[in-house]
């Protein structure tokens, strides 16, 4: 399940990507480099959080005790 923090992080990444494109059209790539780097950093951190969440959910599924099946004799 995706938390609100993950959505916010993804939205910030997209926002800075749009700012970077806008600044590139106005001033060139050099002055807008900072916006692209913030966007890339947010996307990498989002991917890291997503992979950690999937690892934890897989561990939880593997460590859950299985209930014994009820067999009728």
Question: pLDDT (tens digit, 9 = 90+) per residue, 33-51?
Answer: 999 999 999 999 999 999 9
CA–CA distance, 60 with 54 (Å, rounded to integer):
10
Does any domain span residue 69? no
Nearest CA to 50 among 60, 61, 42? 42
pLDDT value, residue 34: 97
Q: Which residues of 31-49 are buried (b: 16+ CB within 10 A; e: fewer)?
A: ebeebbebbeebbeebeeb
Q: Does any domain span residue 50?
A: yes
* Domain span holding position 38: 4-54
pTM metric for this prediction: 0.74
Would 61 be classed as within a structural domain?
no
How far does CA 45 lie from the centroid of its chain? Answer: 6
> What is the tens place of the pLDDT at every residue in 11-25?
999 999 999 999 999
Number of domains in the chain: 1
In this predicted model, which residue has the larger pLDDT, 7 or 56? Answer: 7
């Amino acid at each position: 399940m995706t938390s609100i923090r993950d959505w916010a992080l993804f939205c910030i990444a997209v926002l800075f990507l749009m700012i970077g494109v806008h600044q590139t059209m106005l001033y060139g790539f050099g002055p807008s480099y900072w916006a692209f780097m913030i966007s890339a950093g947010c996307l990498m951190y989002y991917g890291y959080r997503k992979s950690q969440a999937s690892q934890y959910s897989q561990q939880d599924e593997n460590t859950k005790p299985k209930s014994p099946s009820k067999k009728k004799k």
